[in-house]
Structure 1
Amino acid sequence: MDSNYIESYNDLQVHQLMLLDSARNQAYRQAVFDNKDFIQGKIVLDIGCGTGILSVFCAQAGAAKVYGVEASGINEIAKNIVKENKFENIIEIINSRIEDVTLPSKVDIIISEWMGFYLFHEGMLKSILEARDKFLKPEGVMFPESATLFAAPISVPSYFEKWSDIDGVSMNTFGEKIRIEASKKPVISAIEPDCILSDPEIVTWIDLKEITQEELKLMEAEHLVVCNKSGKYQGICLWFSCTFPSQDTEPIILSTGPEDPKTHWKQTIIVLPTEIEVEKGAPIAYKLSLKASEDSFRKYNLEVTMLDSNEIQHPEYCSCYMTKCIVIRAMLDKYEKDNSARA
């Protein structure tokens, strides 16, 4: 399984897709150059360096030594790109799995573009954490330093609504089969912002310096959200953001949400087998589970469980249209006004 994963990165089109992802490249480049004073004279480890673009960024920023580790055959292209940019004396490309690498010393910085669809797909993070524990100095820095996974209910009309008239022929029976197939595994697609039915909720947040392998085995979140528009609730949308350290400015954030510049990650959709009509102000409750596969550490099983919003505790200032929440909001507003009047 690991060999198949490594061999998949021999495909030049995979790297073409990443290299043409301007949002991805610019976030990493800005993060590196905003930390130029810190990087100068330091030792950097670039894990899964691919064609070597991140290694070159670090060399351009003044790193004393960069180890670019790449297990696939693309490492030969990376070596030529290092020569093309005249950094042979700084960047060393190592053709190996990171788990098998030996370095002469600890490193100051680990940089890697390890993120997969819905952040955790591909399971490369396990390798990053092993390298962190083995190679990173105690005061060392991770690029990125943290990551957040978001979720929100969505409408996905392309799976539910376009089959009633295909050039004058009703194909709803076929559309039903397509929808059922789509509900069995996540779908990767670019979602328009107006398809999102509520504000997003955080599924999980990870600190790359602190997260453990054990904590990655199972991640669960129970959400109650309030629709900010009427529509058809047809799925759950997942996306992520990564935060990079910055010495001089606000942290740099690479976000893959529907409202952000398009990236090759797009968004991940969990299509529901049926649709539910919802009104503005309606509460939606669900539980999302990400469980590491027992068959392959590079895969996760995603599961959405629909919950009864009547049985879930609502937040104190819940804005949904349920009577109990309207009453509680009115009482809290009155309490605040009375306190303000006394003050």
Structure 2
Amino acid sequence: VDVIVSEWMGYFLIYEAMLPSVLHARDLYLRKPSKINADNGTSTDGGILAPSHTRMTLAGVEDAELLHERIHFWADVYGFKMSAMAKGLADDAYTEGLKKEAVITDTANIFDLPLMTMSTRQPEFESTFSLKASRKGTMHAFLSWFDTWFLPAPLSSSGLFPPQGRRDTEGGEILPDLPPCQTAEPVRADVSGLDESLRGNAVVPAKEGQDVEQGPGEVVSFTTGPEGKETHWKATAFLLKDPIEVEQGSTITGRIKVTKSSTHSRELEAELHYLVQHPSDEQEAKVKRVQTTMVQHFAVR
């Protein structure tokens, strides 16, 4: 098989555990390269997997309305206190489409997936992160989304794959040669080869004797984040039980660990550890302070 195209991506990218089936098909059916570049482990004549690369990201968001709708709503339902209904709600991740104005920090890349080379298994990872607040406000949640690339063959840069001798990436490891992800809403003119005269025909036959040259191909990408057009995947919100007050320049450092659910094969468990430091803390460095690392567990289901 020359090309395998699959829309395997789920909420939080790897929810639903569909990726291992695609990777299994890759191993069984995708055309193997006849020659491997000894320097970087890439090839120029193997089959193509579409998409070829994905990236998971993390940022902080300010959205008091979201927190109210999902959890605090039950504190006063038309005058009735129904707080018991909110029990456990903060332990779930939520699929939400948020505006870019809600993002209150910069973005951290937490997991890159080189789909052509990675092992045939459900991904699990652990990554550190550091986020810097872009303005003063209240951070109500961490928000995660993913970017997707369709890279044409040949893939000649070693930076698009893990170091030689490895198939997988570690959490937080960045594939450096991935081009910037497209965030602008696509228009018809962006779709190369789309011709109204085809009237539904997908292929235009070459004229007899016409030479058909294979070009370098075109990189296609899209994001599910707030900077792009909203998709059905939206983004994944991890609501904080205790929202964080931040100043411009405050840093939120920590780590995220994502594993398969111990009870449901399609679901995931996410563990977030985070610590907040403010610019004003540096001015009080001579004063001994106790810093607290917060921990929350979430089910992605």
Q: TM-score, normalised by structure 2?
A: 0.61
Please state if 1:231 is matched with 2:137: yes
1:170 Cα deviation from its structure 2 partner: 6.7
Which amino acid in the other structure matches residue 118 of structure 1?
Answer: F
> Is the contact made by 1:224 and 1:309 (CA closer than 8 Å) also made in structure 2?
no
Residue deviations 1:54-109 (CA, integer Å, cap 9, x gap): xxxxxxxxxxxxxxxxxxxxxxxxxxxxxxxxxxxxxxxxxxxxxxxxxxxxx111
Higher RCO structure (Cα 8 Å, ≥6 apart): 2
Paired with 1:195 and 1:243, the residues of 2 have a C-alpha distance of 25
> Is the contact made by 1:160 and 1:175 (CA closer than 8 Å) also made in structure 2?
no
Which amino acid in the other structure matches residue 149 of structure 2?
Answer: T
RMSD of aligned alpha carbons: 3.0
SS of 2:31's partner is strand
> Is the contact made by 1:182 and 1:271 (CA closer than 8 Å) also made in structure 2?
no
Q: How does 1:14-33 map to 2 (within 5 A)?
A: none
**1:301 corresponds to which residue?**
269
Task: Report the number of matched residues.
Answer: 207
Paired with 1:294 and 1:213, the residues of 2 have a C-alpha distance of 19
Paired with 2:90 and 2:222, the residues of 1 have a C-alpha distance of 28
Change (3 A) 1:192 1:177: farther
Please state if 1:279 is matched with 2:262: no
1:213 Cα deviation from its structure 2 partner: 3.4
Please state if 1:220 is matched with 2:126: yes
Paired with 1:271 and 1:203, the residues of 2 have a C-alpha distance of 18
Please state if 1:136 is matched with 2:136: no
Q: How does 1:255-334 map to 2 (within 5 A)?
A: 255-307=223-275, 309=277, 323=282
Change (3 A) 1:217 1:293: farther
Greater helix share, structure number:
1
> Is the contact made by 2:16 and 2:266 (CA closer than 8 Å) also made in structure 1?
yes
> Is the contact made by 1:237 and 1:267 (CA closer than 8 Å) also made in structure 2?
yes
Q: How does 1:152-301 map to 2 (within 5 A)?
A: 152-160=59-67, 174=82, 178=86, 181-213=88-120, 216-246=122-152, 248=216, 251-301=219-269
- List gaps (5 residues or longer) in structure 2: 33-45, 153-214, 284-301
Residue deviations 1:167-225 (CA, integer Å, cap 9, x gap): 99677x657964x54321110111111111111111100111111135x4421111121
1:262 Cα deviation from its structure 2 partner: 1.1
> Is the contact made by 1:189 and 1:269 (CA closer than 8 Å) also made in structure 2?
yes
Change (3 A) 1:112 1:321: farther
Q: TM-score, normalised by structure 1?
A: 0.54
Which amino acid in the other structure matches residue 294 of structure 1?
Answer: S
Paired with 1:116 and 1:196, the residues of 2 have a C-alpha distance of 22
1:287 Cα deviation from its structure 2 partner: 1.5
1:161 Cα deviation from its structure 2 partner: 5.1
1:295 Cα deviation from its structure 2 partner: 3.4
Paired with 2:97 and 2:252, the residues of 1 have a C-alpha distance of 23
- List gaps (5 residues or longer) in structure 1: 1-106, 311-319, 325-343
Change (3 A) 1:167 1:181: closer
> Is the contact made by 2:256 and 2:273 (CA closer than 8 Å) also made in structure 1?
yes
Change (3 A) 1:150 1:321: farther
Paired with 2:219 and 2:84, the residues of 1 have a C-alpha distance of 45
Identity of aligned residues (%): 24
